[in-house]
Structure 1
Amino acid sequence: MKLEALLSSCDEGDCPTLYRTDRGTLVVQGEWITDHGREIPEHETMVEIPVELIRKAVRDGLV
């Protein structure tokens, strides 16, 4: 899978980031959370990203 960075909340590369894949999907990089209280499959995880990252993606026409 190839990832294209769409936008990030910082310039360092280790911050919440939104990516577009060559498969027509989105990938998010964010804080891995474990205290969500949800049952999810073992092959999945949940990450936390700032709401402003999604707002900016919509404003910029990226999604």
Structure 2
Amino acid sequence: MKVTKLASTCDIKDCPTIYATDRGTLLVQGETPSDHGLRVPAHETLVEIPMELIRKAVADGLI
């Protein structure tokens, strides 16, 4: 899978980031919350990202 960085909230590696793939999907890097109280299937996960990241990606015309 080819991955391309679209938007991030900082310039270092360990920050919330949105990536595009050559599969026509997005990958999201963020914190893994544990206090959500939701039931999530074993093959899925939740990732928490700041709204600022979505706003930046939209403003930059990336998504």
TM-score range (shorter-chain normalised) is over 0.9
Gaps of 5+ in 1: none
Tell me, in whole angstroms, the C-alpha distance in 2 between the residues paired with 1:47 and 1:21: 17
Taking only the aligned residue pairs, the percentage that are identical comes to 67
TM-score (norm 1): 0.93
Counterpart position of 1:28: 28
Q: CA deviation at 1:34?
A: 1.4
Q: TM-score, normalised by structure 2?
A: 0.93
| CA–CA separation in structure 1 for the residues paired with 2:50 and 2:10 | 12
Q: Structure 1 residue runs of 4+, over 2 Å off?
A: none
How many residues align? The count is: 63
Q: Please give the root-mean-square deviation of Cα atoms over the aligned residues, in Å.
A: 0.8
Give the secondary-structure state (helix, strand or coil) at the position aligned to 2:20: strand
Unaligned runs of 5+ in 2: none
Q: Does 1:42 align with 2:42?
A: yes
Bigger share in strand = 1
